[in-house]
A and B are shown apart, each in its own frame.
Chain A
Amino acid sequence: GDSVTQMEGPVTLSEEAFLTINCTYTATGYPSLFWYVQYPGEGLQLLLKATKADDKGSNKGFEATYRKETTSFHLEKGSVQVSDSAVYFCALTWGSGNTGKLIFGQGTTLQVKP
């Protein structure tokens, strides 16, 4: 079945370091791909998305490119801040059409130290 695999955390970085969080997926068809972020004590919120191969999603300095050939959607940021400390979830749509059902990876905790 469809699934999402993320690199295990926690990932600990110093402020202004480069961030990569790996995400690979297994899916039939052509899913849309998402990165969600969860700040402490809050629900998830959409960070960025890509709906077809080679699309690049970007928001708040974060980027991810939909790579069909490697079935990947790695999250990157050139210079992280303490305020980026959160849990990041990679996800894909499940089923055909606009169903809103998502399959999530297990989440990667990012800790950024000053």
Chain B
Amino acid sequence: DAEITQSPRHKITETGRQVTLACHQTWNHNNMFWYRQDLGHGLRLIHYSYGVQDTNKGEVSDGYSVSRSNTEDLPLTLESAASSQTSVYFCATSGTSGGNTGELFFGEGSRLTVL
């Protein structure tokens, strides 16, 4: 079965360190997204990509970057981690085949704690 794999599932880091969260999908979807989930805010879009070499900023992109070198992977990098970036991060994908109405498929999340 197709799936989305996020790693690590749990990470604790220190303020100022660079952190990369991995997302690997076997759906062969063109569209990939990174969301963060915080209590009281629901999910907020960080970055997204519609294909190889394409990246776009979302609602809360400051302090984050992504790169898309192939269809399967969209790593999320925190250049200099801050305590405000403590959150649960979800990778999601969607296809562009006919009939798709925007349904997203989610990974299981990566819980990041910045001390």
Q: Separation in Å of the A16 CB from the closest CB of chain B? A: 29
Which of B45, B92, B102, B107 neighbours the largest number of chain A CB atoms within 10 Å of its CB?
Answer: B102
A99 adjacent to chain B (CB < 8 Å) = yes
Residues on A with C-beta less than 8 A from B93 are: 100
Given contacts A42-B108, A100-B94, contact A34 B102 (CB under 8 A): yes
Given contacts A49-B103, A100-B31, contact A89 B94 (CB under 8 A): no
Residues B103 and A34 in contact, CB atoms below 8 Å apart: yes
Distance in angstroms between the alpha carbons of A3 and B103 in the assembled complex: 18
Q: Separation in Å of the A94 CB from the closest CB of chain B? A: 8
Q: Separation in Å of the A8 CB from the closest CB of chain B? A: 9
Residues B43 and A89 in contact, CB atoms below 8 Å apart: yes
Among B4, B33, B96, B106, contact of A101 (Cβ-Cβ < 8 Å): B33
Main DSSP-derived SS at the B contact region:
strand
Interface size class of A (residues with CB under 8 A): 20 to 34
Residues on A with C-beta less than 8 A from B90 are: 43-44
Q: What is the interface size of chain B, counting residues whose CB is below 8 A from a CB of the partner?
A: 27
Distance in angstroms between the alpha carbons of A102 and B105 in the assembled complex: 12
Given contacts A42-B108, A43-B109, contact A99 B102 (CB under 8 A): yes
Distance in angstroms between the alpha carbons of A21 and B52 in the assembled complex: 39
Residues A98 and B96 in contact, CB atoms below 8 Å apart: yes
A51 adjacent to chain B (CB < 8 Å) = yes
Residues on A with C-beta less than 8 A from B108 are: 41-43
Residues B42 and A106 in contact, CB atoms below 8 Å apart: yes
Which B37-76 residues have C-beta < 8 A from chain A?
A: 40-45, 48, 50, 58
List chain A positions with a Cβ less than 8 A from chain B. Answer: 4, 32, 34, 36, 41-46, 49, 51, 89, 93, 98-102, 104-107
In the complex, 8 of the A-B residue pairs with CB atoms within 8 angstroms, ordered by the A residue number, are A43-B92, A43-B107, A93-B101, A98-B96, A99-B50, A99-B102, A101-B102, A104-B43
